[in-house]
Amino acid sequence: MQFNFLISKCMSVNENGMSILNGGQQHNQQLDEVIKIMGEASAKAQNLKQVITSPSRFYQTDQGIYIKSEGKQCLGMLKIGRKNLFHRDLSGLVKEIQPLCVLDFYVHESVQRKGIGKELFEEMLRCEIISPEKLAYDRPSPKLLGFLKKHYHLSNYIPQNNNFVIFSQYFENRKQNLNNQLASSQSTQFQYSSTPSKVEQLGSLMSQMTIQSTQSKNQQQKDSKSQTPWATDQKQQQNMYQTTTGLMSAQICKKR
């Protein structure tokens, strides 16, 4: 799409011709014109009933727009944003999710099939740190579905009433994570159940102390029984000698 001004005059452009816009940034007349005209061209190319990308729909939101430009030409754009979605699986179970969504994706007809769309998409994946299967796609065109199948092998999904496409791979890692969390929880519960409580530890310690005390008393009794008889007789003789000596001294004192 050709404009009458350099695209770099109304937005920051890196060395690869990429620009990233966000809904909270300051806007100007030229920037508004780029967003408006590219949004209208995208709606026309996809046969949409209404324009989904415009300055009024973009500013003051948490959405982002990736733009590929070259001089005065805007070659393509990709708009993203988070949405609160309800997804129904084959069993009829409904899940509420909040994925990052591709809301609009357009490459100008004059530069299609030249890798512009792939370059835009890869730049978005790199900056958002996300993989294609973890995205939701709002009313993707047949061209976008073909693009995703060709480059990222994404094709399996369940049609939804909200017209968002969420590929089955979106949930695969989630199931694996849930299984890992469940296994980790069970492992933790086993560790807790196999680890004795403080009360049990205290009871075990008291039992050990009682056993040690009983063993000590038994040893003392054994030691007492093992003493030689002459040792006991000698002690008794010494006591009798002291008693006799005391009586004799008392009688001598009386006689005096």
Residue positions in the annotated binding site? 105-118, 141-150
How far is Cα 122 from Cα 116, in angstroms, rounded to an integer?
A: 10
- Distance of alpha carbon 112 from the chain centroid: 38
Q: Check if the beta carbon of residue 39 is closer than 8 Å to that of residue 104.
A: yes
How far is Cα 246 from Cα 236, in angstroms, rounded to an integer?
A: 16
Binding site residue list for acetyl-CoA: 105-118, 141-150
How far is Cα 221 from Cα 86, in angstroms, rounded to an integer?
A: 81
E strand or H helix that includes residue 111: none
109-129 b/e (C-beta count within 10 Å ≥ 16 → b): eebeeeebbebbbebbeeeee
How far is Cα 140 from Cα 155, in angstroms, rounded to an integer?
A: 12
End-to-end CA distance of the chain: 146
